[in-house]
C-alpha cells in the first residue's frame, strides 16, 4: 500500500497482482502488474465511490468528502451513472436520493461541479432543474433512473464521495 493511500485514503491501495490476477508479494526481480483497487466502496475506472454512513446537508456532505481526501461524486458519463446507481442500490438499499457534487450556488442557473469546473456531462430529469434561486444543489434520483434533480441545499440526504485513484 502506498504512503499516500494508507495515510489519506485508507480505502484505496495499489495491489500487486501476477498475470493471473493473484495477489503476490513484492520480491526483487519478480515481475508484477500494478493495479488500483478499492478496498471499500466500488470502482469506476480511475475512481472509487464510497457511500456515506448517514445523511447530511449538502455543505456538510461536501466538507466530509473533502476531509476524507475526495469530493462529492460527479458522474462523468452514462457508464459512471450506471455504476453509481448499482452501487447505491447495494450499499444503501431504500435510499432513492443522494447528493452529487454539482451546484449552481456561485451563479444561479449555471451548474458546475464542486471544483468549479464546467460540466461536460449532465443527466437532468425531465423539467429539471426547476428550483431557481431556492434550489442550488443536485441529487441523483434512483426512482428516476439516475437522473438529476435540483434541491434545497439544506436538506439532509445520503451522499457518495469519490476518490481518484492512481
Interacting residues with Ca ion (CB under 5 A): 104, 136
Please give the Cα distance from 81 to 75 (Å, whole number): 5
- Least distance (Å) from Ca ion to the CB of residue 114? 15
Please give the Cα distance from 64 to 77 (Å, whole number): 24
- Least distance (Å) from Ca ion to the CB of residue 152? 10
Q: Which three cell numbers stand for residue 58?
A: 449538502
List all residues 6 or more positions away from 122 whose beta carbon is below 8 Å from its beta carbon.
Answer: 102, 111, 148
Q: SS3 of 11, please? A: coil
Question: Which residue shows C-alpha cell 492512481?
Answer: 166
Q: Which is nearer to Ca ion, 123 or 136 (CB)?
A: 136
Please give the Cα distance from 91 to 74 (Å, whole number): 18
- Least distance (Å) from Ca ion to the CB of residue 153? 9
Q: Which is nearer to Ca ion, 104 or 162 (CB)?
A: 104
Q: Which is nearer to Ca ion, 80 or 104 (CB)?
A: 104
Please give the Cα distance from 50 to 39 (Å, whole number): 10
Q: Which is nearer to Ca ion, 81 or 136 (CB)?
A: 136
Peptide bond into 129 cis (omega under 30): yes
Biggest CA pair distance of the chain: 61
Q: Which is nearer to Ca ion, 62 or 91 (CB)?
A: 62
Amino acid at each position: 500500500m502506498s504512503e499516500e493511500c494508507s495515510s489519506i485514503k485508507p480505502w484505496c491501495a495499489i495491489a500487486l497482482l501476477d498475470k493471473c490476477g493473484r495477489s503476490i508479494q513484492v520480491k526483487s526481480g519478480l515481475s508484477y502488474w500494478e493495479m488500483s483497487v478499492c478496498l471499500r466502496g466500488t470502482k469506476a475506472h480511475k475512481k472509487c465511490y464510497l457511500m456515506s454512513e448517514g445523511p447530511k446537508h449538502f455543505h456538510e456532505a461536501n466538507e466530509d468528502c473533502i476531509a476524507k481526501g475526495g469530493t462529492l461524486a460527479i458522474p462523468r458519463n452514462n457508464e459512471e451513472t450506471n455504476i453509481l446507481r448499482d452501487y447505491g442500490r447495494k450499499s444503501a438499499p431504500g435510499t432513492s436520493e443522494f447528493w452529487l457534487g454539482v451546484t449552481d450556488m456561485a451563479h444561479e442557473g449555471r451548474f458546475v461541479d464542486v471544483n468549479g469546473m464546467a460540466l461536460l456531462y449532465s443527466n437532468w430529469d425531465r423539467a429539471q432543474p426547476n428550483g431557481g434561486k431556492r434550489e442550488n444543489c443536485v441529487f441523483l434520483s434512483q426512482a428516476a433512473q439516475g437522473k438529476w434533480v435540483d434541491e434545497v441545499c439544506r436538506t439532509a440526504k445520503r451522499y457518495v464521495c469519490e476518490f481518484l485513484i492512481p
